[in-house]
Structure formats: structure tokens, C-alpha cells
Structure 1
């Protein structure tokens, strides 16, 4: 059984800015997400990255998603340049990807910088040398395991089976695996494993995975700026912040009641989740 990741664990993994920091030393995240079919994924991931806390977000995507990102978050930079980590794949479809975009993603995955690999870029994660966090849900995990020559149905029966399968995938892939679900499993290639319980069932709604990608990207960029390259605790912390922000959003009416939430609600409540984790460390 994997260990449960707590608010104190999350707080210790977060990097607090200091008076000596500037926007570059706080971390710069490069984002290649969204498409004409799913432009909102770009907006949600960028929004979440900013609200998790880092120095800069560089968004490199198609013109339509770019215009929406800038309308929502005008502080976003839409020019290429220095970054400490990448987020790729959210809101994209591998079947619709152009050769030029495939080449750009492969180049990112061939580099030394850490990469959060989501959704439409998961097919490129196998064999890539870059440090990676992959973020599959159950069906994507089965496809990833098939590509690795592993049993795609190994994680179908219970939490222990999911933990064991995620560890096996992490070893075969040589990357940190964040297996999404009501209980999220994070596994590293060295066998380190943690479980993160979802903050609320209301989290199961469209776009929340895009928000999670932005949270993870921000954490990895900030940690990379500070010289931290241990991705698994950052992945578990991202899952905790994501779930806690969702619960805060669902409980915002008070009185012990919960209410439906949207992905943007989760992103907007991330600063409170970050503050809670920092107070618990």
C-alpha cells in the first residue's frame, strides 16, 4: 500500500519565494497545449500555473488558443525563450497532430529539462530521455502499458493493483507516473509511491485534468529554478493541491454543504490550497 500524501508533505515540497528572487529565479514554465478543437485546455493550464505560483509562463500554441490565453491572463508571454520546465499535450489529439508539432514535441522530450506529459502527447513519452511526469487516467494508462509491452489490464482491480501497476509502468518508462483517479497514485522508477485522495467527487468534470497539468508544470518549474530535480514528491504535491483546491471551491457556500464546481473554479482556489499547505509544513 502506498503512503498517503498529506498537507504537511505538500508544504515541504513547495518552494517559497524570497526577497532575492526575480521572475526567472522563481521558475519559468513553457507550455505547448491546446488546439483549435480544444482551446480551453490552454487557458485552464496557464491559469492554474499562474495561480500555483511561479515567475513566468511562456505559452507556445496555435493562434486561437493564444488569443484566449492572453485575454484571460495578459501577463503570459507568447514568445519562445528561457524556461525551467515544460507542460505539453493537454487539449491535443495525437491523431490530429501535424508533423511540425510532433517534431517540436520530440525535441522537447529529447532535452534535459523536465517535462509534464499529458493527454495528446503521452504517445511520445515512451523512450524519451527527458525527465518526465506522465499523467494518464485509467484508459490512457492501459494504452501506455500496451506500448511498453506490459499487461494493460493489470490496474483494473483495486487500489493495491493500481499502485503495483503504476510502479511497474514507472520502472518500464523510466519516468514518474501520476495515475489519476478518486485516489491518485504517484510512482517513481525507484519504487517510491504515494497516494493522494481526491478532495471531492465534484472534481470529476471536464477540464480539471488540464488544471492539474498547469499545477504540476508550475511546481516543476519553480523547483527546477531552485535546483530540485526530484519529480515524484512534486507530482504528489500537485495532486494534493489540485484536490484541496477543488474541495475549497465545492465548500465555498459554507454550512458544511458542497456544491458543483467547474475546472476554472478549481484553478481560482489554488492560492488558498497553496497557503494551507505552506501553513502545515
Structure 2
């Protein structure tokens, strides 16, 4: 039996860092994203938007030309280039809006370099197949289908009775990293720790691109909270993401709310942060 802890609003607020008079754009956290593709440039836009809106002081983008053009058109504050140069990076986000089956050898090599470094990496979607064997501190963020494929890659058995808590704990142990399993009830597990459960999101959050937004939020909170438990940072990112969706959809105080798109969630992040800090 795996113990489960329910994550709360108060827990999340503890990990929202308010910049002080001595902070600058670097001390607030530098997030680098290697996401999106010419086929799926929107994923890059959503992740970058979310990283900025969740409080990053500096956001770098490294990706294909069409994705980079879309990012700059939406968020001109972003520095887009073929690499990060000598800029320090406090967290990476990779994989969103990419397809492992279409990945070129040069891209695999670049991602492998990131995954063998010392900087925390959020690994989403098309980067998940590279997580086994990585030595960087990871937070992997699969949805249910990606999680099943990841477990198959790890040769972990499929249980006759579905048990998401046991499965996410087992997967975190096998990968030796934090696993954030997305769903109506999101679960976060780290090796040999309690599993954290997050249930702050309305049903309207089940929309295309929401995971790209979550990856950007997580990148920003990891960059802004060095030295903190990555499982707790991941739980805070998931709770904040869900709360932003609640505000964006109007699903508060018993109201059913209304449909939203992923960009609505990213745009609601500042209001969600203000609400949590008030």
C-alpha cells in the first residue's frame, strides 16, 4: 500500500516565490525550452507563454524555425536562437509538440546532452522515450497513453486491477526521478516518497494544449525554486495550473463554468498567482 498525500492551496502558495528588490531577471529563474516543431509550433507558444506567465525572469527558446517564429510573434520578450550560448539555464523543458518517430539524429544528440547535464529537465510528450537512462534531475509528465508506453519501455508489468497510485510510484522508482501522471486527478511520485494527489482542476481543463501549458509552468517553478523538493514543485505547478483553469472557466463556487482553450489557462496564471498570494 502506497501512502498518498493530498496537495493543497496552502502547500502551493509556499512555493510561489515573490521577487524582492535585490532580484533581477536571472535570479528570478531562467527557463529554456526545446519544444514544438514545424508541424506543431503551437506547443512551443503555449509552453513559452506559460513560463513567462508563471513568473520566470528570463525565457530562452531553442527549436525549429516555424516554432521560433510563432514564439517571437506571440512573446517578443523571448530570446530565440539555435542554442542558449553562454546564458545560464535553471531548468529545461523538452518534448512538448514533438514526435519521437520523426526526431532527427542531431536532435536526439542535443536532447541527450540536456538529459546528461545537471540542470532539472521537464520531459514531456515526444521526449519521454529518452527518459530511461538520463542522469539529469527529471520530472516526466506523461498523460495516460504516454504513461502506458513508458511502462512498456521499462518492462513494467500491467496489473490486472488498475492502480494508478502503485503504478506511478513503481515508475518513479524504475526511472529514479519524479513522475507527474496527468489526469482528472493528477499524481506526483518520487522514488521512495509519498505519492502526492492534486485535484484542483475543473473538467474544462481536458483540452488540447493544456499539457504544454503545464510543462511551461513547471519549468518556471523549478527554475525559481532551486534546492526544493522537485516532487513538491511539480505538485505546486499542477495545482496552480488547475486553479488557473478554474478561474479561466468560471467554474468557481459551484458554478459549472464554460469551455476554455489552453491559452486561456496560460493567460489566467497571473490572476491565479495573485489569488494564492493574497
> Into which bin does the TM-score normalised by the smaller protein fall?
over 0.9
1:90 maps to 2:96: yes
Question: CA 1:100–1:214 in structure 2 vs 1: closer, same or farther (change >3 Å)?
Answer: same
Residue 267 of structure 1 is matched in structure 2 by 266
Residue 232 of structure 1 is matched in structure 2 by 231
Residue 150 of structure 2 is matched in structure 1 by 144
Q: Is the 8 A contact 1:23 1:56 kept in 2?
A: yes
Shift, 1:118, TM fit: 0.2
Residue 21 of structure 2 is matched in structure 1 by 19
Q: Which runs of 5+ in 2 are unaligned?
A: none
Residue 33 of structure 2 is matched in structure 1 by 31
Alignment RMSD (CA, Å): 1.6
Q: How does 1:44-193 map to 2 (within 5 A)?
A: 44-79=46-81, 80=84, 81-151=87-157, 153-154=158-159, 157=162, 161-193=163-195
Q: Deviations over 1:184-217 (max 9, x none)?
A: 0000112231100142111111000100000000
Q: Is the 8 A contact 1:41 1:207 kept in 2?
A: yes
Q: Is the 8 A contact 1:155 1:162 kept in 2?
A: no
Q: Is the 8 A contact 2:246 2:252 kept in 1?
A: no
Cα distance in 2, alignment partners of residues 35 and 87 from structure 1: 14
Q: Is the 8 A contact 1:242 1:266 kept in 2?
A: yes
Q: Which runs of 4+ in 1 moved over 4 A?
A: 252-255
Shift, 1:72, TM fit: 0.5
Q: TM-score by structure 2 length?
A: 0.94
Q: Is the 8 A contact 1:41 1:91 kept in 2?
A: yes
Cα distance in 2, alignment partners of residues 46 and 184 from structure 1: 22
Q: Is the 8 A contact 1:115 1:132 kept in 2?
A: yes
Q: TM-score by structure 1 length?
A: 0.93
Cα distance in 1, alignment partners of residues 192 and 15 from structure 2: 18
Cα distance in 2, alignment partners of residues 204 and 101 from structure 1: 30
Between the two proteins, the alignment pairs up a number of residues equal to 272
Cα distance in 1, alignment partners of residues 235 and 206 from structure 2: 18
* Match for residue 6 of structure 1 among 1, 5, 8: 8
Question: CA 1:136–1:156 in structure 2 vs 1: closer, same or farther (change >3 Å)?
Answer: farther
